[in-house]
Amino acid sequence: MPEDSLITVTDDTFADVVLGARLPVLVDFWAEWCPPCRPVAVTLAELAGEFAGRVLIAKLNADENPESARAYRVMSMPTLMFFRSGVVVNTIVGARPKGMLRSALTAAVEPYANR
């Protein structure tokens, strides 16, 4: 299992890295052609340090990995999906401010805080 807080996943690694993770995982479904995806990526990179050891932030290029995007019915980008124990527990579609993403990450890790 990767130790980095911010990683890239593919169709081939999605099940092992995301669904098999011991920590909550935020998957950023993005594409090169998506202008709002760029600032979201910068924000997530900044937040990855804050949440290191508590959450895994994974980036998945939806154009290069269509199976995962299709499996989770990703229709717009960016789409951020929060997984806990392999199950989607929250989805955010579209760019959001850093404070909102921080709050969503905090909510994703709270059930794990006392373990």
Average pLDDT estimate for 41-52: 93
Q: What is the mean pLDDT of the chain?
A: 92
**pLDDT value, residue 5:** 77
Residue 42 DSSP SS3: helix
pLDDT band at 111 (very low <50, low <70, confident <90, very high): low
Q: Is the pLDDT of residue 1 over 50?
A: no
Q: Is the pLDDT of residue 3 over 70?
A: no
9, 27, 37, 108: the catalytic one is: 37
Average pLDDT estimate for 22-45: 96
The CATH T-level fold of domain 6-109 is Glutaredoxin (3.40.30)
- Does the annotation mark 37 as catalytic? yes
Average pLDDT estimate for 2-8: 72
Q: In Å, what is the CA distance from 97 to each residue of 12, 27, 78, 110, 112?
A: 31, 17, 13, 20, 24
**pLDDT value, residue 20:** 96
8, 11, 23, 34: the catalytic one is: 34
- Does the annotation mark 81 as catalytic? no
**pLDDT value, residue 64:** 97
Bridge partner residues of 109 (DSSP): none
Q: What angle separates helix 37-50 from helix 98-109, to the nearest 10 degrees?
A: 50
